[in-house]
Chains A and B, each alone.
Chain A
Amino acid sequence: MVWNTLLLALRAIRRNLMRSFLTILGIVIGVAAVITMVTLGNGATKSVSDQISSMGSNLLMVIPGQRFGPGGSGASNFKRADLEAIREQISAAEHVAPMVTKSVTAVNQANNWSTVIYGTSNDYFPAGNWELAAGRDFSETEERAGKAVCVIGETVREKLFGGQNPVGSDIRIKQFACEVIGLLKSKGQSAMGQDQDDCVVMPLRTVQRRLSGSQDINRMMVSVRDDAAIDAAKAQLILLLRERRNIGDNEEDDFRVMDTRQIAETLTSTTKILTMLLGAVAAVSLLVGGIGIMNIMLVSVTERTREIGIRLAIGAMEREVLLQFLIEAVVLSSLGGLVGIVLATAASIFLAGLMGIPYLFSPGINLLSFVFSAAIGVLFGYFPALRAASLNPIDALRHE
């Protein structure tokens, strides 16, 4: 019986190609839109969290003042002694790197490039998750004596040296020449859209002596051991700095300690909201597609009622007619759903490539939108038939 009815259903679909096509189209567009939007949104979220984890995991950033960004609150910078104290007293701290930043123009022969100099120590490389692509890091003598050596980022190499190997060459910064001893492995854009490879790293003392002219440290990066609790380490660090900066019990901190997880949560929550928003817009199109299906199915009900009358007169049983209509609706809806999924996968892979975000297949949203569209198709293909098939054959035949 099922085989026979399948034949009847397929014939009915072929007979009404235009109507079948329109039914499918509504589902295809709805399903494809929802899946594409959610997939791209998930990809964007993933790419943001990937970039944040490339900053280094378990990282604490210590900045003076309560506000993030320039202007400051007049809070004093850190000193080298603060750094030593953290190293000695916070057992959970693995690497403690000072940071002094300075915007400069670097020159190599005819090429010059505006970049940022980080004055720091060898701790900066493991703490910031940096690896060297070529050359070496600073020697103890170079750090202690403040020698004019630097490790440059990929962007700086490209702008100043073109395709050449920079290690061993000199670049000129302001009045002094500086030997390039290493090249950082490229990390690409940061979560905030900065080019992380656009930097020159020097020993702290070199920058303090030759560029900033003070003993101040603008920022500190503290990486926490994998086995230690980051929250506890953070609390300890805050306590230590309050003590060292003589902050009374009732006064607020004049510095801030942020962990990368906090930054990650802030940023990914934004993209998650965007994903939900896009998904909601796409869900509307799925709904509109669903209404289109209802419309087509209901409009054709008069013609179909007469068809049901003919079939009953010829000797079809009620349940055979219903099964045929059910199969018809299921075949059309699932075909539409499958085409939608294929289309969405192609569009997502293409768009993800275009936007530079990873493509993440999400079974949940594929299943959900497929089931939803199929349910609409089946409901509105089947229920008008249910009514028609229960009529007396002659009433169905005479239906106007």
Chain B
Amino acid sequence: MSGTPLIRLSGITKTYGRGPAAFKALEGIDLAIEAGEFVAIMGPSGSGKSTAMNILGCLDTPTGGSYEFQGVQVERLSRNQRAMLRRYYLGFVFQGFNLLSRTTALENVELPLIYRREPSAARHEAARVALQQVGLQGWEHHTQTELSGGQQQRVAIARAIVTRPAVLLADEPTGNLDTRTSQEIMDLITAFNREHGITVLMVTHEPDIADYAERVIRFVDGRVESDRRKGEDA
């Protein structure tokens, strides 16, 4: 490995609360992630894996340490600049899907493009293609309540990749889905990683879901316990 990694965390800490009741969710995380990697973050509940994910996604701010994204110091960015980072480089998939209610699949997928000021014709076309890529052609005008869980997560993936982000962050993307649907969703995410070179960071607690990744980082008690690449010895 050479040059600047896509993401570098050094000594990241996160503390909730103050004084004696303070809880240290992260106790100094050092991590480097290269462009194009598919990384699974595992660990028991309370190990800090989701907290780390939210910090990586600029949805939350760390208490201490340094976070570099493409060589840029994220903690020095303003609120608006972090919004720009999310807008142009990051895509999110959540466990609870987080689609806008009473809104069609197409409009949900268009949303990030509206914030990117894409003209309406290009926006429609890109959203349509993205829905096609996740296998939802014909479902463009259905709203959240008319879609199954798997379909909702496909819409969420389409919304995340429609902007061709540098990094796709997925927080327990299969947590609310059955085994077969989970496999379909993971196949989709893997495809976007392999075919479009999108870096994937995924939090999960299921070993067979983590098997899709090339690299597995294990968190315990707010620290990195192990960091293995596929093919390396256990």
Contact = CB atoms under 8 A, between A and B. Distances in A.
Interface of A: 1, 4, 7-8, 11, 15-16, 303, 306-307, 309-320, 392-394, 397
A312 B111 CA distance: 11
Contact of B86 (A15, A314, A319): A314
Interface string B86-113: 1110101010001111110001000110
Given A317-B80, A393-B59, A394-B59, A311 B111 contact: yes
A315 B85 CA distance: 7
A317 B83 contact: yes
Contacts of A315: 83-84, 86-88, 90, 112, 115-116
A7 B107 CA distance: 11
B72 interface: no
B87 A314 contact: yes
Contacts of B159: 314
B107 A314 contact: no
A15 B115 contact: no
Interface secondary structure of A, over-half rule? helix
* Residue of B59, B60, B94, B103 with most chain A CB atoms under a 10 A cut-off: B59
B173 interface: no
B222 interface: no
The 6 nearest A-B residue pairs measured at CB: A315-B87, A394-B59, A393-B59, A315-B86, A15-B102, A317-B83
B229 to A, nearest CB: 29
10 contacts: A307-B100, A313-B57, A314-B92, A314-B159, A315-B87, A315-B112, A316-B115, A317-B79, A318-B83, A397-B94
Interface of B: 54, 57-61, 79-80, 83-84, 86-88, 90, 92, 94, 98-103, 107, 111-112, 114-117, 159
A7 B119 CA distance: 12
B123 to A, nearest CB: 10
A303 B101 contact: yes
Nearest to B160: A314
Contact of B114 (A4, A303, A310, A312): A4
Among B54, B80, B88, B107, the one with the most A-chain Cβ atoms within 10 Å of its Cβ is B54
A314 B102 contact: no
Contacts of A1: 117
Contacts, number: 72
A322 to B, nearest CB: 12
Given A15-B103, A307-B100, A314 B112 contact: yes
Nearest to B51: A394
B136 to A, nearest CB: 19
A46 to B, nearest CB: 49
B59 A397 contact: yes
A392 B115 contact: no
Given A318-B83, A392-B60, 11 more contacts: A4-B114, A7-B114, A15-B102, A310-B98, A310-B99, A312-B83, A312-B86, A313-B59, A315-B84, A315-B87, A394-B60
A397 B98 contact: yes
Contacts of A4: 114-115, 117
Contacts of A319: 80
Contacts of A7: 114
Contacts of B90: 315
Contacts of A393: 58-60, 86
A4 B110 CA distance: 12
Contacts of A317: 79-80, 83-84
B146 to A, nearest CB: 14
A313 B115 CA distance: 11
Nearest to A393: B59
B97 to A, nearest CB: 10
A11 B59 contact: no
Q: Which of A8, A306, A315, A320 has the most CB of B within 10 A?
A: A315
Contacts of B84: 315, 317
A317 to B, nearest CB: 5
Contacts of A392: 59-61
A296 B2 CA distance: 57
Given A392-B59, A393-B59, A397-B98, A314 B79 contact: no
